[in-house]
Structure 1
Amino acid sequence: MVFPCCSHRCGLTNEDLNRRWCKPNPILHPSIYHTKGLMEYLARVWKRPPAVYCDYHGHSRKKNVFFYGCAGAESWCHGDRLAPDEPAQYLLLPALMHRISPAFALGSCSFKVERERESTARVTVWRQLGVQRSYTMEASYCGFDRGPFKGFHLNTQHLQNVGSDFCEALNGLGDPGAGVDLQLTRDLNGELVLDSDSASTDSALKTDSDEEFD
């Protein structure tokens, strides 16, 4: 089961709704409260947590389309860094998107878990519900700087195509024949590097950046 969730910055209470996922108020944040409640029911009562969680944001500075995800090895929390980490769990979907979608920039992805983002949907679903493939998909307000769309702004057709590519990538998660041969290394800066059968120089998965607006 996959849970997509569209989100904008503020609700009617003038709060950033993507900072209310840890303890949402049923009156002030009803959409978050009930969405999280449904996922908790699936995870704790049915014992069937979502296979993937992804919310969709627009990014005001970085270009292209990319993911923010969660890696225990890249967490601010010492306990996360001590726990066994399975990079293939959270890197496979970005790798599939890199292979499938011309709008997707694997090199812009980041999997750093920062303390100040503990209350975001991405980190809350990862930490509280144990969903390893918990992401924010960012689509730039500033257009593309790579690939076949370099120099163009994103339009409606681009976004529709990315949605279709995302569904194809999700399908690939359950299809062994459509998988990507993941070879994980670290570069000289300590950043994760994914060398897949179709990866290029854009395959460095950033674990740090000048800013992250998820």
Structure 2
Amino acid sequence: MGTVIMHNVVSVDGFIADDHDDVGPLHEWYFSGDTPIGAGGDQQDAYDHSSVGSAFKVSRASAQYVGPMWESIGTIVMGRRFFDLTNGWEGHQPAGDHVVVVSHRPKPEGWHPEASYHFVDGVTAAIDKAQELAGERVVAVSAGEVGGQVLAAGLVDEVAMDVVPVVFGSGRRYFGSIDGQVLLEDPHVVIQGDRVLHLRYRVRR
């Protein structure tokens, strides 16, 4: 099975959005560089989190990290709240071939039948389905409440954070409302881009 990586862009005080689900300046670095990348690390159009077709242009340092990471993803796991906010990127996820949505409700009737989106009740079943679909490729779990639940269940191998120099003060937490401690190893990836710091930690077993 492929590696399960919990990932998101995050403020320095640990928030992935404000209290109104606004990401503010968290994604500005995706569009302020000089190196265009797409969902597979190619120079092509991709989709941002508001589902508007747009070319990502990042710094060269960020492109050398983000491009291969996106290319390695086979399946994205997201929560229903995130799906509803983005309308599932209109069936065009930013990376990978499949999406698994953790939800007690089924896929909206008639919603993009061509898209490989699977609605699963519970985080353990979601990771099982995501790994089945991804094979040896990476399963990328969106941070937040669902990501925190997956981490607390011991199903996350690595934590990846793209840290942006902004303080939110309150909002949607990267680790959700996780209860208890989880130890991580020292970061094995530390890359400084323009207005973003890329960090990756293995979860201590």
More helix by share: 1
TM-score range, shorter chain: under 0.3
The structure with higher relative contact order (CA 8 Å, sep 6+) is 2
Give the TM-score normalised by the residue count of structure 1.
0.24
Give the TM-score normalised by the residue count of structure 2.
0.25
